[in-house]
Structure 1
Amino acid sequence: MESFTVHASKDGEWVETQNTSPTLTVAKANSLHKTGWGVHITDADGRRYGPARFNEILSFDRKSPIKF
């Protein structure tokens, strides 16, 4: 299972949150970025993703489509 960490800083404050869901990770990172935080995401292998690359994380979401 892939793990992601959102790293954010603003006005001398640092926040880190961990998620296994790519969708929740990107949502959290985008939310912080839109409110003025400096944000990047790292994956379990240490790769770093800045705001312009957040959507690349969504490719890690391997949930099967819902069948009706």
Structure 2
Amino acid sequence: MAYKMIAERDNATVRIERQSTWLIVAKARVWASEGWQVVITDTDGNSYPPEDFDRLLATPGRAAA
């Protein structure tokens, strides 16, 4: 399962895709801590803003990879 992170700030947009939930959440947390607006989207189309990253990690079957 692939996860996509989109980070936006000012006129810049960064897109990153990873298979690992842990890696995409770690990257997204770093970008968010630097002032970027970050959201992670899973292959089911569910979106997770920073306040839901822990919920994403706790979802059964999604923490590995």
**TM-score normalized by structure 2?**
0.88
Rounded Cα–Cα distance in structure 1 between residues aligned with 2:30 and 2:56: 15
Q: Could you say what the CA RMSD is over the residues aligned between the two structures, in angstroms?
A: 1.2
Counting only pairs closer than 5 Å after superposition, residues 1-68 of structure 1 correspond to structure 2 as 2-59=1-58, 60-62=62-64
How far residue 35 of structure 1 moved from its aligned partner, in angstroms, is 0.2
Deviation at 1:57, TM superposition (A): 2.0
Kindly provide the CA deviation profile for residues 7-43 of structure 1, in whole angstroms up to 9, marking residues without a partner as x. Answer: 0001110000000001001000000000000000000
Residue identity in the other structure for 2:14: V
Q: Which letter does structure 1 place at the counterpart of 2:27?
A: K
TM-score normalized with structure 1 length: 0.84
Question: How many residue pairs align between the two structures?
Answer: 62
Which is greater in Rg? 1
**Counterpart residue type for residue 53 of structure 1:** D
Percent of aligned pairs with the same amino acid: 34
